[in-house]
Structure formats: structure tokens, C-alpha cells
Chain A
Amino acid sequence: MAALKTVRIGLWVAVVALGLTAAAAAVMLRQQQPAEGGFGKGVYSLVDQNGATLDQSMFVGQPTALFFGFTHCPEVCPTTLAEMTGWFEALGDEGKDLKAYFVSVDPERDTPAVLREYVSWVSDRITGITGTPEEIDKIAKAWGVHYERIPLEGADYTMDHTASVFLLDAKGEFQGTIAYREDSAVALGKLRNLLAKS
């Protein structure tokens, strides 16, 4: 009787121990993911508006404003690019280190040549980025960017997409976002904070 009880307790101890190990493993896994990758981290092979290859190192060395969009965008993208122009103008010399990237979530239509003229309208401070659909998917997933192709009447389509601008410090670490149509004083405050930290 006593022996059986001991075995039973032993079994329970084993079960609890197993459970604890599983829980610990789960916690470790969860903690490991950001350590290995982290928000926005990954290996990308993309092309800029001039056809030059770019990888994840593009975010290192200067503070960055990162935006995902597409040239067939009726409103959010042109508005955000126009607002970016305003930020660059308002920051003047203070913002001389700031870089901006416009990553297309519609790489099938947004070739480097299409992007070149589109972003050139803003300034030489913003770089248009495209790539294969697979690579675009990787960078979008890394940044938690939602994008989805929505058919329109005829053969045309539009893209739903995340409209926030991501702010990265000089190490390429995520520091915050500027929301679509955020008050320009608030947006400038965020950019000045970012520049001060970088």
C-alpha cells in the first residue's frame, strides 16, 4: 500500500516536473524569438528605385522613417509623402541625418522605374523600395505590416495596407510610430525625439 502510494507520488512529481519543463521551454521560446529576430529584424534582399540591391543594413547608421504603401494609392500614400516633405522642411538642418523609405506592398506594379519618379517628387531624402513578392512579404511580416490585395471592378485592384510610419533609431531599432494624419506638431516632436536619441 505504502509502496503504491510512493509510486503514485513519484508519478505526480514526474508529471509536475514535465509540466514545469514545458512551461519553462515555452517561456524561453517566447523570449528567444525577439532576441533572435526582434520587431522589424530579418534578412531582406530588396531593390531601390535605381535598381540597386539593399538589405537589412539600410536601417543602420542613421535614424529612419519607414513607410509601406503603393503608387496606386489614392490618398494615404500621397498624403503621407506630402507630410514627410513638410517634416523634412520643418526640421531643416536638424533633420539632415534622417532617412525615409517608402516600401511598396504592390511590387508587381511598382517597378523601380515607377517608384523613382513617384518618390522623387518628395525629395532625394526618400528612397523607394521594391523587390520580389516573397522579399516584400518578408519585410512586411517583420514589421507587422498588413497588406492585402482587394479586387475592383474590371481587372484592377487596390491594396489595403498599414498606414503608420515606423520610426527607427540609428541602430535600426524600432522606437515608435507616427499615425496616419497625426498632428504635425506631434509628428515633429516624435521625429525630434528620435533624432536626439540617435
Chain B
Amino acid sequence: MIRLLSAAFAVALLVATPALAHNGVIHLGPINISVPFTRATLPNAPVGGGFLTIENTGTEADRLISATSTVAGDTQIHEMKMEGDVMKMRQLTDGIEIPAGETVELAPGGLHIMFLDLNQPFVEGETVTVTLTFEKAGTVDVPLPVMAAAADGPAEHAGH
């Protein structure tokens, strides 16, 4: 945890790499980020979830070590799962490993960025920005379009 924190601070000191995006994919070195979205929050709901797909085209494993955002008092990396009929959610303090050549999905029902203590509700049609820091690839701003409250994916993927 200490090691990860110091790595996070070291990387955060560097200027966030400008995102090179085309076809909806954000490139950060060997890391490709796609299908980003979040969901509209219910009135008074103080939390929101952020979802996106991370592909590591490189030959070395990387790790998503932190997420920050100005839209929330705190932003964390979480895992949700169903154990029987019980919903369990856990904070991943060590972040998420993105193995070389593999794709990791942060999607409803599983891994997600957790926005806590929201400064304002997430409104469908708007966009919120999350800043992701990878251990090796560095830091990037990712805009998340706000979809409907129970959306399973961003607009272009809805209905598939």
C-alpha cells in the first residue's frame, strides 16, 4: 500500500498526459481505454459508479493504482460481487492489475470506480471526468458520459 501510494504520488507529480483519443478510445502509452460511462444518480444518492474498459497492448503488466475526480469528495477503486443473493462491495486498496496483452473491464456488477460524497448529482446527458493513474503508463483524464440510472453501457453499446 505504501509502495503504491508513493508510486501514485510520483506519477501524479508528472503532468497528466494529454489523452489521444480516436474512435472513442483513449490511448495512454500501451494502455487503451474505451467504453467509458457512468449512470445518472437518484435524488439524494451520494455515490456513483464509473465504468470503462482497459486494454494493455504492452508486454509488461501495469496497474491502475488510483482514481481521482473533482465531482466527488472521495474516489476509490472497488469491486462488487453477488454472493448468493447478497451484494458485497469491497475497496481495492492495491488497485487493479492490467496484465500484459489483456483487457480488464470495469462494468456494472463487478469492478468499478466508486465516487463517494458527490458534489452534485450525475445528470443523464452530462459528462463527469475521472483522472486515472497507472503505475507505469502514467495519468490520464477520462470523460465518462452519464447514461440512464440502470444503463448497462454507453449509448453506442446500448441495445447490443
Contact = CB atoms under 8 A, between A and B. Distances in A.
A154 interface: yes
Contact of A83 (B90, B109, B150): B150
A146 B90 CA distance: 16
A161 B84 CA distance: 11
A180 B48 CA distance: 19
18 contacts: A71-B46, A73-B47, A74-B48, A74-B49, A74-B80, A78-B39, A81-B149, A117-B43, A121-B43, A150-B88, A150-B90, A154-B74, A156-B117, A158-B89, A160-B88, A163-B87, A179-B85, A180-B87
B114 A163 contact: no
Given A75-B108, A180-B87, A156 B74 contact: yes
A15 interface: no
Contacts of B91: 152-153
B71 to A, nearest CB: 14
B42 interface: yes
Nearest to B108: A75
A75 B51 CA distance: 12
Given A75-B49, A81-B42, A114-B44, 7 more contacts: A73-B45, A74-B78, A75-B80, A78-B45, A120-B43, A146-B86, A162-B85
Contacts of B48: 74
Contacts of B116: 152, 156
A147 to B, nearest CB: 9
B86 A160 contact: yes
Interface string A125-165: 00000000000000000000010001011101010111110
Contact of A118 (B39, B44, B74, B93): B44
B13 to A, nearest CB: 22
A76 interface: yes
B82, B88, B109, B112, most chain A CB atoms within 10 A: B88
Contacts of A75: 49, 80, 87, 108-109, 112
A105 B116 CA distance: 18
A78 B41 CA distance: 8
A160 B87 contact: yes
B42 A71 contact: yes
A82 B76 contact: no
B150 A118 contact: no
Contacts of A83: 150
A82 B47 contact: no
Contacts of A117: 43-44
Contacts of B46: 71-72
Contacts of B43: 117-118, 120-121
B148 interface: yes
A150 B83 CA distance: 15
B85 A118 contact: no
Interface in A177-196: 177, 179-181
A117 B39 CA distance: 18
B42 A121 contact: yes
Contacts of B114: 74
A150 B85 contact: no
A73, A74, A118, most chain B CB atoms within 10 A: A74
